[in-house]
């Protein structure tokens, strides 16, 4: 595999789209957003499994979940008009900082 980060990035993008469709599905009461969500989640997990051929599980999942959290929070803010207070912004920043520290300084990251 050339780079495990390409399927990981695609997995993150699909997970974010799936989560956005989850909001649109209105508790699975709308067919098309529900089907789209399910397809996005399945494809996301498949792509994550491809990245796991090379990346350690903890590192891949940390990147996947942290970036997903931040991107979903931004979609919530800009698309669904959900506000983030200061503690939420600080917490999101700490999540991103943690992933940066793991990837830059940890030998676990597999660099």
Q: How confident is the model at residue 21 (pLDDT cuts 50, 70, 90)?
A: very high
DSSP state of 109: G
> Domain spans of the chain?
5-109
Q: Burial of 77 by CB count in 10 Å (0-12 exposed, 13-18 middle, 19+ buried)?
A: middle
Structure tokens at 11: 């997995």
Cβ contact 50:43 at 8 Å: no
Give me the pLDDT at residue 41, please: 98
pLDDT digits 0-9 by tens, 28-84 = 999 999 999 999 999 999 999 999 999 999 889 989 999 999 999 999 999 999 999
Structure tokens at 40: 């996005």
Give me the pLDDT at residue 104, please: 86
For 32, half-sphere exposure in the C-beta direction (CA atoms, 13 angstrom radius) is 0
Q: How confident is the model at residue 108 (pLDDT cuts 50, 70, 90)?
A: confident
């Amino acid at each position: 595999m050339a780079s495990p980060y390409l399927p990981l990035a695609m997995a993150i993008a699909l997970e974010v789209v799936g989560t956005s469709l989850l909001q649109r599905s209105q508790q699975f009461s709308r067919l098309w957003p529900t089907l789209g969500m399910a397809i996005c989640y399945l494809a996301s997990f498949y792509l994550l499994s491809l990245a796991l051929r090379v990346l350690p599980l903890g590192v891949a999942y940390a990147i996947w979940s942290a970036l997903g959290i931040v991107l979903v929070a931004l979609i919530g803010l800009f698309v669904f008009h959900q506000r983030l207070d200061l503690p939420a912004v600080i917490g999101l920043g700490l999540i991103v900082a943690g992933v940066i520290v793991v990837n830059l300084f940890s030998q676990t990251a597999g660099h």
